[in-house]
Structure 1
Amino acid sequence: MKHFWEIDEEENYYTLEKINEKEIAEAEKKLGVTLPDTYKKLILEQNGGYIVHNAFPTTQPNSWSEDHIQFTHLRGIAEDDGIMESEYLIEEWELPKGLILINGDGHTWVAMDYRKTKENPPIHYFDLEMEEDFKLADSFDELIKGLYTVEYIVDEEAEVDEEAEIEYEIPNEYLSKEELQSILKMENPDTDDIYKIQYYPMKEIEEIEWFFDTIKNHIENVKDEDVLYEIASTVNSLLLINQKMPTNSNIKDLVQQIAKFLEGNEDSLIVNLGEHIAFKIRNIN
């Protein structure tokens, strides 16, 4: 996965001891299920930890937000602090049996739901405060492809303590053409710069056409696969956020060209993003 894990030189609670394929197979045998291939690929790269993105969209209101859940880390494979302690945590927090917990802090959990299957599980969200159990995604791959980044601000008038309210905010001042061009001209843009692309205004037809034409021309010349993945992921997030943006045949054609270009990549994860983008633009308006 391109830039999936948050780069952190310091130790963190969720990053566990490195694991190999044999140990993953032993874990599957003990759990009695087949873990998703993408999950195993990520865990071979790094056995759990904080991730670059921090949210997944949902239309189901929850105790965190009206339109998304928080997803800041992915649990790895280990008896302590990993998915192998799911059974204990399920009993501790009175959750349904048949789950493998991949994210959570006690009040909310995200889980691979093996209640009705032994492979290819859907992903469910459990909100203990609101007594909610709802499906987030049909598969682990859908979960990973749908992750995006949101900005949070602390109310400046609130006291800086554990009870300070955190709010979700989309900036009032959208990204300008000049700012977008500046980001795309960067030789090695970081993830924080790239995700700002999703704040380009999707209001006027001419501006939207210019945006997707600029992105199309840019990605066709990107040499760094990591940067290409991040731009594709951000375009995917932008389409999630702007599901009611105005479109015309030219805009849809430009986005389809972007999707087709990504689908021709050798990296299967970039190909999947291309397919996801193509699906979204077909279903806008």
Structure 2
Amino acid sequence: MEQQFFKDFDFTGFWNESSYSERDYIEPFPDDETILSVEQELGYKLPASYIELMRIRNGGLVERSCFSTAESTSWADDHIAITGIMGIGREKTYALCGELGSRFMIEEWGYPDDGIYVCDCPSAGHDMILLDYSRCGKSGEPEVVHVDQEADYRKTFLAKDFKTFIEGLKEEAYFDQDTDI
């Protein structure tokens, strides 16, 4: 019963191939037992699209790092940026249950406990991407939101689900284009 959320998605140029990504982000591929134990530890059911992506590549830095927003954020007037996507596991620094994972951001940085923080941002902890379960419950399909610590943890809606978020990521150059032409 394979979902195949990303069967038609072109991953060419999506991931950043670097030793930093390998060292701090990319976890071994998650088996069912690891997924279940991480869900239990975090208190939420991971979205099927997130699990599928992590079975393709379990975390890492990304080249397509920007997502359009309808409102301005502390990052930019029209988009947010991410550094990487956290993998399912506990070994790497930027894994869901890693040293700087989701619970750390909630317990140490005071981020709202409304779901699972799945992407870090270039601000070094001052904003994060959250799978927000506040509307759907702990087993539902979470929305994806940007949470801005510098603006009293303000949430900015990004996408109705994780698949839509991944498919909407663009390279930074897309936003650097001169629109006055």
Shorter-chain TM-score tier: 0.7 to 0.9
Per the alignment, in what secondary structure is the counterpart of residue 42 of structure 1? helix
CA contact (8 A) 1:55 1:72 kept: no
Q: Deviations over 1:43-100 (max 9, x none)?
A: 1121100123111100111111100000232111223421123122212111111321
Aligned to 1:138: 160
Unpaired segments of 5 or more residues in structure 2? 1-5
Match of 1:27 among 11, 22, 38: 38
User: Equivalents in 2 of 1:14, 1:127: separation in Å?
Assistant: 22
Unpaired segments of 5 or more residues in structure 1? 153-167, 175-285
Match of 1:40 among 48, 51, 54: 51
Per the alignment, in what secondary structure is the counterpart of residue 150 of structure 2? coil
How far did residue 33 of structure 1 move?
2.1
* CA separation of 1:25 and 1:129: change in aligned 2, threshold 3 A: same
Code of the residue aligned with 1:21 in structure 2: it is D
Higher helix share: 1
Instruction: Give the structure with higher Rg (CA).
Output: 1
Code of the residue aligned with 1:54 in structure 2: it is S
Aligned to 2:15: 6
User: Equivalents in 1 of 2:107, 2:18: separation in Å?
Assistant: 34
State yes or no: 1:89 paired with 2:105: yes
Please, what TM-score do these two structures have when normalized by structure 2? 0.76
* CA separation of 1:96 and 1:7: change in aligned 2, threshold 3 A: closer
Aligned to 2:75: 64
Match of 2:150 among 129, 142, 148: 129
How far did residue 17 of structure 1 move?
3.1
Match of 2:129 among 110, 132, 136: 110
User: Equivalents in 1 of 2:84, 2:114: separation in Å?
Assistant: 21
Deviates more, 1:38-47 or 1:16-25: 16-25
Percent identity over paired residues: 28
User: Equivalents in 1 of 2:172, 2:125: separation in Å?
Assistant: 22
Aligned to 1:222: none
CA contact (8 A) 2:119 2:128 kept: yes
User: Equivalents in 2 of 1:140, 1:24: separation in Å?
Assistant: 17
Question: Please, what is the CA RMSD of the aligned residues?
Answer: 2.4
Q: Which has the higher contact order (CA 8 A, sep 6+)?
A: 2
How far did residue 114 of structure 1 move?
2.0
CA contact (8 A) 1:3 1:52 kept: no
Code of the residue aligned with 1:83 in structure 2: it is L
